[in-house]
Structure 1
Amino acid sequence: MPLAGLILAGGRSSRMGTGDKALAMFAGQTLVARAAARLAPQVDLLALSANGDPRHYALPGIDVVADEDESRSGPLAGILAGLRWAQALGTPPRALVSVAVDTPFFPEDLAARLAAASGGPGTIAVAASQGAWHPTVALWPLDIADDLAASLARGERGAGAFIGRHPHVTVEFPAIGGRDPFFNVNTPSDLAEAEAIAREPT
């Protein structure tokens, strides 16, 4: 069965100080375009979780899905929007693989490794590196959507805590050239560091 992909870009970008982080330029393209180019070959269908004007994120063949409310209740709200989008497709995919828009070096075999490790229906597969979990980079079974909606309605926003209450596996990804494959761009200095990494010879 097919896999769906979701780029999480619905945050407030408060630490960037330059507007929407997803639209920040990196290596000649926006971060969101970079994430789409990296994830699209790994999945069968792709959507973008974003809460701004969808015209700003227009990318060919990619649906833009917004949170169900205006609370901006973190990445779990974006994941729920992605799960609802996937459930509504004519042929629902096997699961949804999420990535954060600000992790420009996530592995090119991410989806395949998460899917292989998930072990069947109902199990969340979470990426990890250097001993740390990355709850926004994970494979989510579609039938977890109702429980996630109930958790958000109770005001529970922690992705790690939500995952911990469900069957899950951790998939460790090795460092690439000594660097974390899930290097996270939160500030202008992070973006400058990412640009320097991208220029390093492979």
Structure 2
Amino acid sequence: MRFCGSDTVSITGVILAGGRGSRMGGEDKGLVLYQGKPLYQHVLGRLRPQVSRVCISANRNLSVYQQTGLSVITDTLPDFPGPLAGMLAALEKIETEWVVFVSCDTPLLPEDLVSRLWQAKRDAPVVWAKSDGRDHPTLALMHVSLIEPLKSFLIKGERKVMIFLQQAGGHSVDFNDCPDAFNNINRYEDLIAGERG
């Protein structure tokens, strides 16, 4: 990936699609159709040009996700312990120092998400998007040095993404100029609203 000036860095993109989809009636959210194609494909189309390679974090319907030709990473911890488990599994598998995580239910992802997170990170090991006063902790750029702290956090039974990112010394990056970019499809009502919009 080439960013501002002569800075060149390899970043792996990971689409988080490993949840239970409980607010979507238990459906695999990444595979729910939105404007004629699965949600995760909208996200993939926006993320792919921004990173060196893309992987998918998933725990169900693995063969469907594998049809993309992308690497599919499953949680190493049992019982769907949340996004942090997917993040940990990905950090342990990827070959780059940095990974950007995005959720499978944000089809309007900013096309400059990765470069803006990178340019604003300073010395932080993790940064995440924030817009209109709202944090989006599953849209985060993270360094592999956080593997051990994340593992310890999860072993203690902790699950809150925001708490981990703050404890890890991260900070948010403002995307106030594109608030609609982070509208996520959590429920069928969101899906219907998005189709109309």
Q: Same fold (TM over 0.5)?
A: yes
Task: Please tell me the residue identity of whatever aligns with 1:96.
Answer: V
Matches within 5 A, 1:4-83: 4-17=12-25, 19-83=27-91
Contact kept? 1:15, 1:187, Cα under 8 Å = yes
Q: Provide runs of 4+ in structure 1 moved above 4 Å.
A: none
Aligned mates of 1:69, 1:159 — CA distance in 2: 16
Alpha-carbon displacement from aligned partner over 1:11-43 (angstroms, at most 9, x marks no partner): 111121262111111112100111111111100
Give the structure 1 partner of residue 193 of structure 2.
Answer: 193
Contact in 1 for aligned 2:146/2:168 (Cα 8 Å) = no
Which residue of structure 2 aligns with residue 200 of structure 1?
none
Residue 174 of structure 1 corresponds to 176
Q: Is the 8 A contact 1:130 1:180 kept in 2?
A: no
**RMSD, matched Cα:** 1.5
> Partner letter of residue 83 of structure 1?
L
| SS across alignment from 1:67 | coil
Q: Percent identity?
A: 38
Do 1:129 and 1:181's aligned partners in 2 also have CA atoms closer than 8 Å?
no
TM-score, structure 1 normalization: 0.88
| CA distance in structure 1 between the partners assigned to 2:39 and 2:162 by the alignment | 24
Which structure 2 residue ranges, 5 or more long, are not aligned? 1-8
Long gaps (5+) in structure 1? 198-202
Partner residue in 2 for 1:140: 142
Q: Is the 8 A contact 2:20 2:26 kept in 1?
A: no
Give a deviation string over 1:97-133, Cα, whole Å, max 9, x none: 001101111101001111111114x521110010111
Is the contact between residue 175 and residue 181 of structure 1 (CA under 8 Å) also seen in structure 2? no
TM-score by length of 2: 0.90
- How many Å separate the matches in 2 of 1:22 and 1:60? 13
